Amino acid sequence: MRSQKPRAGIFFYLGIIVFFYFSFDLAVNDYPLKITLLKGMLAGAGLLLPLVLKLREKE
């Protein structure tokens, strides 16, 4: 049976990249409120994904 740890590592780094991409994009560009909220939620999801994966690993 394969271990799920390598997949969790990939999602960890992908989540960090998504967070920084959308955070930087929001800091540099000026968007309407709806797009800003959507990109903010995507950045938050990118930040929460690695945290959730770390918590699931500990269980």
Q: In whole angstroms, what is the distance from residue 23 CA to residue 43 CA?
A: 6
Reported confidence tier of residue 51, pLDDT bands at 50, 70, 90: confident
What local confidence, expressed as pLDDT, does residue 4 receive? Answer: 57
- Kindly report, residue by residue over 9-35, the tens digit of the pLDDT: 787 788 888 888 888 888 898 889 888
Give mean pLDDT, residues 3-7: 60
pLDDT score at 3: 57
Report the distance separating Cα 46 and Cα 14, nearest Å. 8
Nearest-angstrom CA–CA distance, 50 and 53: 5
Residue 19 and residue 40: Cα distance in Å, rounded? 9
Indicate the pTM of the whole model: 0.64
